[in-house]
Structure 1
């Protein structure tokens, strides 16, 4: 399907696509240690049959995690909230730096090209923020502008992409990067309850970075993408055409990260009904995203949905009428990494690029969901 490009998607006064931000590269990183679900159960000493069933029926085969260190008896140590914050700082910086460098390499850019760095995290709190620590760690120019999105949850990668794409359009030719670094094992509480079992069975550690630039037919003059560039097989990456959001205020407490007074630490909570809340609103937000564009859902060639969990993915598939092929990268990332929070959709995007199936003119929808309860979407075109 062809969409008129001079005033794209029927938006009055909209800028030409060349003035939209373009994705020119992506990079990911995970810890060196990975575990199967049975190995995690063994490491955490979980014997309860109901809890074990949550782990073993999660559609997750392996996750990269930084588990608690062993004590003198070979058992996993109990980590205080201070220990967990230290873990987050160490591993978010280390993984984040590797993901950023991988993203720049794939983009054909260097640290010297970076003009804005936006860091996203929910699994720990840092002041100064992760962006300042990454800039120091990698020796990035002190004049690089920065921003931090903290505490928004699994949807936050698209929230950041929305804001930073605006920065890119306001600064044509300048390189911006959104970096999502989530050390989810820094948010674990091990207490044997079903509440924590759901969380501990689902999340993995990982970081993902995506590079943006606006201005010119290929972002900054000729396409400077590295191998695969932003689009795969040398194809320029997609333009970010528009965003749409949907918050469900009546479900504001359905996903939360708050203080557990009994455990004396932060603890994440997922309401068992959240897959159905997400599914019921997926159609609403996607219809809003496509409204006025002339596009139907059947015109979308690529769906990159947050790997929120098996039931969440199933709910999105049913409510949007998608096929299992449409969400193959979403389910693949869940299988191989678990839920990586804010960066999950970028792991799926990287797989799409490596697959090399995106073609010029193809449309794609990016979708994340998280606390609020919130669904975020973006429409892109190669």
Structure 2
């Protein structure tokens, strides 16, 4: 096959995920917050989600949960984002055989809180990374942002062959919750979970031999393709809620159909010039955006339930993890042991803009 850029391409040499300690079933969430509205309960119980890892508000003496201020939510985003982000990064490095001191570039992604300085600077301090580490913070791009950042990290990797570049997606979605009893917030509160994911990338031979050889094939990133849908720019967004004194996330009910209708075009553009057809793709790792989103993409791309088994499995076990969801699926695929050298895979994320991002990978 051919790609737009010849020469060595960046390879994923390590990956890792992390979550908070506590997880909750959808029914447990309804009971914890004493939600009786049948419409809201139906949203939770028909979400195709069984459990989610969450950092819930502190429990009060009467058994109810404290009301978190916007400041408290931002503090939660920072504290737990650093914790799970660091854990995911350390796991990725362990799998790669590299050390923290080898990192030359750190790209961090988050949409669940605003920080200045961002997670890149905070993780450099927390983990004692080299102070010469080049860095990037991708903030506010939503669930598609993992592939936007991966594109930037891959570009740095190609420009600096042999050096280690890493990406960390740290999302504390429970820091973006508003509990006001409306269907708008119920949809968000029923869907998103907390989690972090990381990848380590190298282009060409490394400057130092890795500490251990990975038994898993490494995925080389060949190409990216993007599609933004300006007509749906307001379909996913943060609004400021004066009454609650918090940011409130909004999801339009037509998002699944908008995304699905444009999925075919962006995948065809991704494969254009490669000599590949959709039938040549061995593995599909689609963002776990929600049951209707997955179904819409599956129908429009002609994918079988088996092709998106990891996408649906991650949704079932974690909920929508925003920017890092596709990497949870990547981890499951690699641990499954079915990937063979020479296989092709498509990574796909969707989010505000509205946007679809894709990447072509070969193992």
Which bracket does the TM-score occupy, shorter chain normalised?
Answer: over 0.9
Kept after mapping to 2: 8 A contact 1:235/1:360? no
Matched residue, 2:111: 122
- Cα distance in 2 for partners of 1:71, 1:112 equals 43
Matched residue, 2:315: 334
How big is each residue's C-alpha offset from its partner over 1:209-251, in whole Å with a ceiling of 9 and x where there is no partner?
Answer: 00111024xxx28984857x3xxxx243111110000000000
Q: CA RMSD in A?
A: 1.3
Matched, 1:291 2:272: yes
Among 68, 91, 95, the residue aligned to 1:102: 91
SS at match of 2:142: coil
Matched residue, 2:47: 58
Deviation larger for 261-270 or 274-283:
261-270
- Cα distance in 1 for partners of 2:93, 2:83 equals 16
Kept after mapping to 1: 8 A contact 2:216/2:334? no
- Cα distance in 2 for partners of 1:43, 1:130 equals 31
Kept after mapping to 2: 8 A contact 1:106/1:225? no
Matched, 1:307 2:288: yes
TM-score, normalization: structure 2? 0.98
Q: How does 1:141-160 map to 2 (within 5 A)?
A: 141-160=130-149
- Cα distance in 1 for partners of 2:255, 2:316 equals 20
Matched, 1:132 2:124: no
Q: How far is the alpha carbon of 1:258 from its aligned partner?
A: 2.2
Matched residue, 1:242: 223
Q: How far is the alpha carbon of 1:99 from its aligned partner?
A: 0.6
TM-score, normalization: structure 1? 0.93
Matched residue, 1:46: 35
Matched residue, 1:86: 75
Kept after mapping to 2: 8 A contact 1:286/1:377? yes
- Cα distance in 1 for partners of 2:237, 2:300 equals 24
Gaps of 5+ in 1: none
How big is each residue's C-alpha offset from its partner over 1:79-98, in whole Å with a ceiling of 9 and x where there is no partner?
Answer: 01001000001100011011
SS at match of 2:191: coil
Matched residue, 1:379: 360
Kept after mapping to 2: 8 A contact 1:366/1:377? yes
How many residue pairs were aligned?
A: 363
Kept after mapping to 2: 8 A contact 1:306/1:368? yes
